[in-house]
Amino acid sequence: MPERLQKILSQWGVASRRQAEQLILDGRVQLNGSVAQLGQKANPEIDHIEVDGQPLQPANRPELVTLLLHKPLAVLSTCHDPWQRPTVLELLPQPYQEVGLHPVGRLDSDTTGALLLTNDGRLTFCLTHPRHHVPKTYHAWVQGHPAETVLQQWREGIILSGRPTLPAEVRVLERRLGNQPQTHLEIVLREGRNRQIRRVAERLGCPVVHLHRTAIGPIQLQPSGEPKLPQGSYRPLRLTELEFLRNLIGIIFGDSNSRVIRKECQV
């Protein structure tokens, strides 16, 4: 059955759907010998598709892989950086770099923590589309000791770029006194606007000192009773985590037999 080219490219692990759209717009994709246009449909079993001159062959479709990475500071959540800055893919062994993995969403260079890497385009769509509201948990150190009324504003939502943020869970974990008082907050968001936590904290008068993501849904850097995944390290997902993702895909796409992973790369 014909499908949009960007969807095919994401399913084949070439790029996320948004990145695939940019590949098409940049003229790097050909369909049956002609430069592809955004919105064109194709059947990879019949049509000849090339990306940067390399044919897309059904027999070469990579197995689906999803990993949890603990992103360190100063590493970019992208597959390639023209200025040669370190990227998350460089933290993985070479076999993983060759199966079309890409980060699911982004963490800023100055933010650490949980980041999923996958070559499953449907999973990327499910986890990053604004209407799906997958909760993400953050720990943030902010300047000062924000009052309860300020934290309640955060919980209820504030106007950001002309529209209100969704309600958030915000609770105080610790307060530090001294010449530079700080507060340690746990924040659960169900949306992911650009630098949202930093922008909201700045607006409320308690700028972020350090931001760290601890979990994406039930997928945690430190599952209960287990050691924390070290910075710069990765792991395959556990069965319960895979089941969460399968259920999410099944709900959104109406596919009860969704597959999230076939196997882990041999490294």
- Indicate if 108 belongs to the active site: yes
Q: Which of 108, 110, 120, 255 is catalytic?
A: 108
Helices 239-253 and 121-128: crossing angle in degrees, nearest 10, is 80
**Residue 178's Cα: distance from chain center in Å?**
37
Residue found under tokens 């999973």: 123
Nearest to 63 by CA among 213, 239, 199, 262: 262
Q: Are strands 136-143 and 208-216 parallel, antiparallel or unpaired?
A: antiparallel
**Residue 13's Cα: distance from chain center in Å?**
15
Q: Could you tell me the two tokens for 218?
A: 């039930």
CA distance 177 to 231: 28
Active site amino acids? 108
